[in-house]
Amino acid sequence: MKYLGEYSITKNKETVIITDEGEYPIWVRDAEKHFSGFEKGEEIEDTELLITLACRRYIKKKAIRRLAAGDITKKALITKLCREKAFGTYPDRAWVEELIGKLEKAGYLDDKGYAKRYAEKCLDKLWGEVKVKGSMYEKGFERETVDEALESLNPDFTALAKEYIEKNLVGQDKDVIWRKLSSRGFFSDTITSALSGTQNAEC
């Protein structure tokens, strides 16, 4: 790979290294540290480093854009970024985890806050505990984070089951109610409690 020149994108703090195999945008500080003083036509020996730096710049910008788009869990974001291919290579997972750790410390990610908000949305849909937790695990929340969110909200799942019955299952027989509530993630003891306290269901 031969060095053919470079140009800067000041607003992005980037230097684009031009080679005979393509252009590689990297951070200005990386260009100054590793690729300063090259003459046109000079061979770039450490091409792997150049590609890695270009990939990392791309991944970091991708991470920030995704975070700006809305909530995402730390685990889900790491998985997404590790699957991103840039300049013919994938980022190193350890580096991605380190990057996301820094963004988390800077306040760009807040799994605990997001978990509470997401759990509230699930509860508003009158979901049972099994479905709420399952959905949160699918989103990438860690078990401890899920438990903390639900503990802070302290939902009354029996009351939620009763509310669902009264809104959607009035006049239905017991078997139908059981199937519906089970499919919404309510435990059997919760369904029993809800039925015993519901006057309008045909039990």
pLDDT for res 198: 64
pTM: predicted TM-score of the whole model, two decimal places:
0.84
* Burial classification of residue 124, based on how many CB atoms lie within 10 Å of its CB (0-12 exposed, 13-18 middle, 19 or more buried): exposed
Tell me the per-residue pLDDT of 129-188, one tens digit each, with 9 for 90 and over.
Answer: 999 999 999 999 999 999 999 999 999 999 999 999 999 998 899 999 999 999 999 999
Q: What's the confidence (pLDDT) of residue 12?
A: 84
Provide the pLDDT confidence category of residue 199 given band limits of 50, 70 and 90.
Answer: low
d(CA 39, CA 191): 76
What is the per-residue pLDDT for 59? 97
Per-residue pLDDT reduced to its tens digit, 39-79: 999 999 999 999 999 999 999 999 999 999 999 999 999 99
Residue 129 makes CB contacts below 8 A (sequence gap 6+) with 150, 155, 157, 185, 186, 187, 190
Alpha-carbon distance of 195 to 15, in angstroms, equals 67
